[in-house]
Structure 1
Amino acid sequence: MNINATLFAQAVVFAILVWFTMTFVWPPIAKALDERALKISEGLASAEKAKSELAVANKRVEEELSQSRNESAIRLADAERRAQTVIEEAKARATEEAAKIVAAAHQEAQAQVVKAREALREEVASLAVKGAEQILKREVNAGVHAELLGRLKTEL
Protein backbone atom coordinates (compact mmCIF):
# COMPACT_ATOMS: atom_id res chain seq x y z
CA MET A 1 0.00 0.00 0.00
CA ASN A 2 1.35 3.11 -1.14
CA ILE A 3 0.69 6.18 1.04
CA ASN A 4 0.56 8.43 -1.95
CA ALA A 5 -2.12 6.36 -3.61
CA THR A 6 -4.11 6.28 -0.40
CA LEU A 7 -3.84 10.05 0.01
CA PHE A 8 -4.78 10.52 -3.60
CA ALA A 9 -7.77 8.16 -3.26
CA GLN A 10 -8.86 9.91 -0.06
CA ALA A 11 -8.54 13.30 -1.77
CA VAL A 12 -10.70 12.06 -4.67
CA VAL A 13 -13.30 10.63 -2.27
CA PHE A 14 -13.22 13.89 -0.27
CA ALA A 15 -13.69 15.92 -3.48
CA ILE A 16 -16.65 13.70 -4.47
CA LEU A 17 -18.09 14.10 -0.97
CA VAL A 18 -17.66 17.89 -1.13
CA TRP A 19 -19.23 18.00 -4.61
CA PHE A 20 -22.14 15.74 -3.50
CA THR A 21 -22.70 17.79 -0.33
CA MET A 22 -22.49 21.11 -2.19
CA THR A 23 -24.86 19.86 -4.90
CA PHE A 24 -27.47 17.82 -3.05
CA VAL A 25 -27.23 18.40 0.72
CA TRP A 26 -26.21 22.03 1.14
CA PRO A 27 -28.96 23.73 -1.00
CA PRO A 28 -31.91 22.20 0.99
CA ILE A 29 -30.17 23.05 4.29
CA ALA A 30 -29.45 26.61 3.09
CA LYS A 31 -33.02 26.89 1.83
CA ALA A 32 -34.39 25.67 5.18
CA LEU A 33 -32.14 28.11 7.04
CA ASP A 34 -33.24 30.97 4.76
CA GLU A 35 -36.92 30.05 5.24
CA ARG A 36 -36.41 29.87 9.00
CA ALA A 37 -34.69 33.28 9.00
CA LEU A 38 -37.54 34.71 6.93
CA LYS A 39 -40.15 33.26 9.31
CA ILE A 40 -38.28 34.66 12.29
CA SER A 41 -38.00 38.11 10.70
CA GLU A 42 -41.70 37.99 9.76
CA GLY A 43 -42.55 36.93 13.31
CA LEU A 44 -40.48 39.77 14.73
CA ALA A 45 -42.12 42.26 12.35
CA SER A 46 -45.53 40.89 13.26
CA ALA A 47 -44.67 41.15 16.95
CA GLU A 48 -43.56 44.77 16.50
CA LYS A 49 -46.75 45.53 14.58
CA ALA A 50 -48.85 43.87 17.29
CA LYS A 51 -46.93 45.78 19.93
CA SER A 52 -47.65 49.10 18.21
CA GLU A 53 -51.30 48.12 17.73
CA LEU A 54 -51.47 47.22 21.41
CA ALA A 55 -50.04 50.61 22.32
CA VAL A 56 -52.63 52.32 20.10
CA ALA A 57 -55.42 50.18 21.57
CA ASN A 58 -54.24 50.96 25.12
CA LYS A 59 -54.21 54.65 24.27
CA ARG A 60 -57.77 54.40 22.89
CA VAL A 61 -58.88 52.50 25.98
CA GLU A 62 -57.39 55.17 28.23
CA GLU A 63 -59.11 57.89 26.21
CA GLU A 64 -62.43 56.03 26.43
CA LEU A 65 -61.99 55.51 30.16
CA SER A 66 -61.15 59.17 30.63
CA GLN A 67 -64.15 60.20 28.58
CA SER A 68 -66.48 57.85 30.46
CA ARG A 69 -65.09 59.12 33.79
CA ASN A 70 -65.76 62.68 32.68
CA GLU A 71 -69.26 61.77 31.53
CA SER A 72 -70.01 59.96 34.78
CA ALA A 73 -68.70 62.93 36.78
CA ILE A 74 -70.92 65.26 34.74
CA ARG A 75 -73.92 62.98 35.22
CA LEU A 76 -73.21 62.73 38.93
CA ALA A 77 -72.97 66.51 39.20
CA ASP A 78 -76.25 66.87 37.27
CA ALA A 79 -77.91 64.34 39.56
CA GLU A 80 -76.65 66.20 42.62
CA ARG A 81 -77.95 69.50 41.22
CA ARG A 82 -81.31 67.89 40.48
CA ALA A 83 -81.41 66.41 43.97
CA GLN A 84 -80.65 69.81 45.49
CA THR A 85 -83.36 71.38 43.34
CA VAL A 86 -85.87 68.72 44.39
CA ILE A 87 -84.88 69.18 48.03
CA GLU A 88 -85.23 72.95 47.76
CA GLU A 89 -88.63 72.59 46.07
CA ALA A 90 -89.74 70.15 48.74
CA LYS A 91 -88.56 72.53 51.45
CA ALA A 92 -90.41 75.40 49.79
CA ARG A 93 -93.61 73.33 49.51
CA ALA A 94 -93.25 72.19 53.11
CA THR A 95 -92.73 75.78 54.25
CA GLU A 96 -95.79 76.90 52.29
CA GLU A 97 -97.84 74.03 53.69
CA ALA A 98 -96.63 74.80 57.22
CA ALA A 99 -97.54 78.47 56.75
CA LYS A 100 -101.00 77.46 55.54
CA ILE A 101 -101.46 75.12 58.51
CA VAL A 102 -100.26 77.80 60.93
CA ALA A 103 -102.56 80.38 59.33
CA ALA A 104 -105.52 77.97 59.49
CA ALA A 105 -104.70 77.16 63.11
CA HIS A 106 -104.40 80.87 63.89
CA GLN A 107 -107.79 81.55 62.28
CA GLU A 108 -109.31 78.62 64.16
CA ALA A 109 -107.81 79.93 67.40
CA GLN A 110 -109.21 83.41 66.70
CA ALA A 111 -112.61 81.92 65.96
CA GLN A 112 -112.50 79.93 69.20
CA VAL A 113 -111.41 83.05 71.12
CA VAL A 114 -114.35 84.99 69.69
CA LYS A 115 -116.71 82.10 70.46
CA ALA A 116 -115.33 81.83 74.00
CA ARG A 117 -115.76 85.59 74.51
CA GLU A 118 -119.36 85.39 73.32
CA ALA A 119 -120.05 82.46 75.64
CA LEU A 120 -118.36 84.31 78.49
CA ARG A 121 -120.42 87.43 77.79
CA GLU A 122 -123.61 85.37 77.82
CA GLU A 123 -122.61 83.77 81.09
CA VAL A 124 -121.58 87.10 82.63
CA ALA A 125 -124.86 88.63 81.49
CA SER A 126 -126.88 85.82 83.07
CA LEU A 127 -124.80 86.09 86.24
CA ALA A 128 -125.35 89.86 86.29
CA VAL A 129 -129.10 89.30 85.92
CA LYS A 130 -129.09 86.78 88.78
CA GLY A 131 -127.00 89.15 90.85
CA ALA A 132 -129.41 91.98 90.15
CA GLU A 133 -132.33 89.70 91.09
CA GLN A 134 -130.70 88.92 94.33
CA ILE A 135 -130.05 92.57 94.99
CA LEU A 136 -133.51 93.68 94.05
CA LYS A 137 -135.15 90.58 95.50
CA ARG A 138 -137.35 90.28 92.59
CA GLU A 139 -137.28 88.72 89.16
CA VAL A 140 -135.85 90.65 86.26
CA ASN A 141 -137.55 89.95 82.92
CA ALA A 142 -134.89 89.37 80.22
CA GLY A 143 -137.33 90.14 77.42
CA VAL A 144 -138.25 93.52 78.90
CA HIS A 145 -134.72 94.50 79.66
CA ALA A 146 -133.16 93.12 76.40
CA GLU A 147 -131.77 96.50 75.42
CA LEU A 148 -130.08 96.89 78.78
CA LEU A 149 -128.66 93.35 78.61
CA GLY A 150 -127.38 93.93 75.02
CA ARG A 151 -125.51 97.07 76.14
CA LEU A 152 -124.06 95.15 79.06
CA LYS A 153 -122.81 92.39 76.68
CA THR A 154 -121.08 94.91 74.40
CA GLU A 155 -119.41 96.62 77.29
CA LEU A 156 -118.01 93.34 78.56
Structure 2
Amino acid sequence: MNINGTLVAQAIVFALLVLFTMKFVWPPIAKALDERAQKIAEGLASAEKAKSELSVANKRVEEELAKSRNESAVRLADAERRGQVMIEEAKAKAAEEGKKIIAAAQVEAEQQSVKARETLREQVAALAVKGAEQILRKEVNAGVHADLLGRLKTEL
Protein backbone atom coordinates (compact mmCIF):
# COMPACT_ATOMS: atom_id res chain seq x y z
CA MET A 1 0.00 0.00 0.00
CA ASN A 2 0.87 3.39 -0.74
CA ILE A 3 1.26 5.94 2.02
CA ASN A 4 -0.50 8.56 -0.06
CA GLY A 5 -3.46 6.28 -0.64
CA THR A 6 -3.58 5.43 3.05
CA LEU A 7 -3.48 9.09 3.96
CA VAL A 8 -6.22 9.93 1.50
CA ALA A 9 -8.33 6.99 2.72
CA GLN A 10 -7.82 8.06 6.33
CA ALA A 11 -8.72 11.67 5.41
CA ILE A 12 -11.91 10.46 3.71
CA VAL A 13 -12.84 8.25 6.70
CA PHE A 14 -12.07 11.16 9.04
CA ALA A 15 -14.26 13.51 6.95
CA LEU A 16 -17.07 10.91 6.93
CA LEU A 17 -16.70 10.53 10.71
CA VAL A 18 -16.86 14.31 11.14
CA LEU A 19 -19.96 14.53 8.87
CA PHE A 20 -21.64 11.62 10.66
CA THR A 21 -20.82 13.14 14.04
CA MET A 22 -22.07 16.59 12.96
CA LYS A 23 -25.29 15.16 11.48
CA PHE A 24 -26.26 12.47 14.04
CA VAL A 25 -24.23 12.81 17.24
CA TRP A 26 -23.69 16.54 17.64
CA PRO A 27 -27.36 17.76 17.50
CA PRO A 28 -28.60 15.55 20.41
CA ILE A 29 -25.56 16.53 22.50
CA ALA A 30 -26.10 20.21 21.71
CA LYS A 31 -29.80 19.85 22.43
CA ALA A 32 -29.07 18.16 25.78
CA LEU A 33 -26.56 20.88 26.68
CA ASP A 34 -29.06 23.61 25.72
CA GLU A 35 -31.80 21.96 27.78
CA ARG A 36 -29.49 21.63 30.73
CA ALA A 37 -28.42 25.27 30.43
CA GLN A 38 -32.09 26.28 30.24
CA LYS A 39 -32.92 24.19 33.36
CA ILE A 40 -30.01 25.76 35.22
CA ALA A 41 -31.18 29.25 34.19
CA GLU A 42 -34.75 28.43 35.28
CA GLY A 43 -33.45 27.06 38.58
CA LEU A 44 -31.43 30.21 39.19
CA ALA A 45 -34.41 32.40 38.28
CA SER A 46 -36.72 30.43 40.59
CA ALA A 47 -34.07 30.62 43.34
CA GLU A 48 -33.93 34.41 42.94
CA LYS A 49 -37.73 34.57 42.94
CA ALA A 50 -37.89 32.38 46.05
CA LYS A 51 -35.25 34.54 47.70
CA SER A 52 -37.25 37.71 47.02
CA GLU A 53 -40.46 36.01 48.19
CA LEU A 54 -38.63 34.90 51.33
CA SER A 55 -37.50 38.44 52.06
CA VAL A 56 -41.07 39.71 51.50
CA ALA A 57 -42.41 36.95 53.75
CA ASN A 58 -39.82 37.81 56.40
CA LYS A 59 -40.88 41.45 56.26
CA ARG A 60 -44.53 40.44 56.64
CA VAL A 61 -43.62 38.17 59.54
CA GLU A 62 -41.70 40.97 61.26
CA GLU A 63 -44.63 43.35 60.71
CA GLU A 64 -47.07 40.80 62.12
CA LEU A 65 -44.79 40.15 65.10
CA ALA A 66 -44.51 43.87 65.78
CA LYS A 67 -48.28 44.22 65.44
CA SER A 68 -48.82 41.26 67.78
CA ARG A 69 -46.40 42.71 70.31
CA ASN A 70 -48.18 46.04 70.20
CA GLU A 71 -51.58 44.39 70.53
CA SER A 72 -50.41 42.27 73.45
CA ALA A 73 -48.93 45.34 75.13
CA VAL A 74 -52.21 47.20 74.65
CA ARG A 75 -54.21 44.24 75.98
CA LEU A 76 -51.88 43.92 78.95
CA ALA A 77 -52.23 47.62 79.71
CA ASP A 78 -56.02 47.35 79.40
CA ALA A 79 -56.05 44.35 81.71
CA GLU A 80 -53.94 46.21 84.25
CA ARG A 81 -56.26 49.22 84.06
CA ARG A 82 -59.30 46.99 84.48
CA GLY A 83 -57.62 45.28 87.41
CA GLN A 84 -56.90 48.64 89.04
CA VAL A 85 -60.50 49.75 88.46
CA MET A 86 -61.78 46.50 89.96
CA ILE A 87 -59.46 46.90 92.95
CA GLU A 88 -60.62 50.48 93.47
CA GLU A 89 -64.27 49.42 93.19
CA ALA A 90 -63.68 46.60 95.66
CA LYS A 91 -61.96 49.01 98.05
CA ALA A 92 -64.85 51.45 97.75
CA LYS A 93 -67.40 48.67 98.36
CA ALA A 94 -65.38 47.38 101.29
CA ALA A 95 -65.17 50.87 102.79
CA GLU A 96 -68.91 51.34 102.31
CA GLU A 97 -69.63 47.96 103.89
CA GLY A 98 -67.26 48.85 106.74
CA LYS A 99 -69.11 52.09 107.33
CA LYS A 100 -72.42 50.22 107.34
CA ILE A 101 -71.06 47.65 109.77
CA ILE A 102 -69.65 50.39 112.02
CA ALA A 103 -72.95 52.28 111.94
CA ALA A 104 -74.89 49.11 112.74
CA ALA A 105 -72.47 48.33 115.57
CA GLN A 106 -72.83 51.86 116.94
CA VAL A 107 -76.64 51.60 116.82
CA GLU A 108 -76.49 48.22 118.51
CA ALA A 109 -74.06 49.52 121.14
CA GLU A 110 -76.36 52.48 121.79
CA GLN A 111 -79.34 50.15 122.15
CA GLN A 112 -77.41 47.91 124.53
CA SER A 113 -76.31 50.97 126.49
CA VAL A 114 -79.91 52.18 126.80
CA LYS A 115 -81.03 48.68 127.77
CA ALA A 116 -78.24 48.43 130.34
CA ARG A 117 -79.23 51.84 131.80
CA GLU A 118 -82.85 50.75 132.06
CA THR A 119 -81.83 47.51 133.73
CA LEU A 120 -79.53 49.39 136.06
CA ARG A 121 -82.28 51.88 136.93
CA GLU A 122 -84.66 49.05 137.70
CA GLN A 123 -82.05 47.37 139.88
CA VAL A 124 -81.25 50.65 141.65
CA ALA A 125 -84.97 51.27 142.20
CA ALA A 126 -85.37 47.78 143.63
CA LEU A 127 -82.33 48.32 145.87
CA ALA A 128 -83.71 51.70 146.97
CA VAL A 129 -87.03 50.10 147.83
CA LYS A 130 -85.26 47.35 149.78
CA GLY A 131 -83.11 49.94 151.47
CA ALA A 132 -86.14 52.05 152.38
CA GLU A 133 -87.92 48.93 153.54
CA GLN A 134 -85.09 48.05 155.82
CA ILE A 135 -84.86 51.61 157.08
CA LEU A 136 -88.53 51.80 157.83
CA ARG A 137 -88.61 48.21 159.01
CA LYS A 138 -91.83 47.64 157.40
CA GLU A 139 -93.00 46.49 154.01
CA VAL A 140 -93.37 49.05 151.26
CA ASN A 141 -96.10 48.42 148.69
CA ALA A 142 -94.64 48.84 145.17
CA GLY A 143 -98.08 49.34 143.59
CA VAL A 144 -98.87 52.25 145.90
CA HIS A 145 -95.57 53.95 145.39
CA ALA A 146 -95.29 53.48 141.59
CA ASP A 147 -95.30 57.23 140.98
CA LEU A 148 -92.51 57.66 143.49
CA LEU A 149 -90.49 54.90 141.81
CA GLY A 150 -91.06 56.42 138.31
CA ARG A 151 -89.67 59.76 139.50
CA LEU A 152 -86.74 57.98 141.07
CA LYS A 153 -85.99 56.21 137.75
CA THR A 154 -86.03 59.45 135.79
CA GLU A 155 -83.68 61.08 138.30
CA LEU A 156 -81.24 58.24 138.02
Greater CA drift, 120-129 or 145-154: 145-154
Taking structure 1 as the reference length, the TM-score comes to 0.93
Matched AA of 1:148: L
Matched AA of 1:30: A
1:92 and 2:96 equivalent?
no
Residue 107 of structure 1: aligned partner: 107
Runs of 4+ in 1 over 6 A off after TM superposition: none
CA distance in 2, matches of 1:94, 1:13: 115
Residues 75-129 of structure 1, C-alpha deviation per residue, up to 9 Å, x if partnerless?
Answer: 1211121122112111211221121111101101110110010010011011101
Where structure 2 has 5 or more consecutive residues not aligned to the other structure, the ranges are: none
CA distance in 2, matches of 1:48, 1:41: 11
Residue 147 of structure 2: aligned partner: 147
How many matched pairs? 156
Q: Name the % identity.
A: 80
Residue 64 of structure 1: aligned partner: 64
Residues 33-79 of structure 1, C-alpha deviation per residue, up to 9 Å, x if partnerless?
Answer: 11110111011001110111011011101111211121122112111
Where structure 1 has 5 or more consecutive residues not aligned to the other structure, the ranges are: none
CA distance in 2, matches of 1:23, 1:60: 55
CA distance in 1, matches of 2:47, 2:117: 102
C-alpha RMSD of the superposition? 1.3
Q: How does 1:116-131 map to 2 (within 5 A)?
A: 116-131=116-131
Taking structure 2 as the reference length, the TM-score comes to 0.93
CA distance in 1, matches of 2:110, 2:151: 23
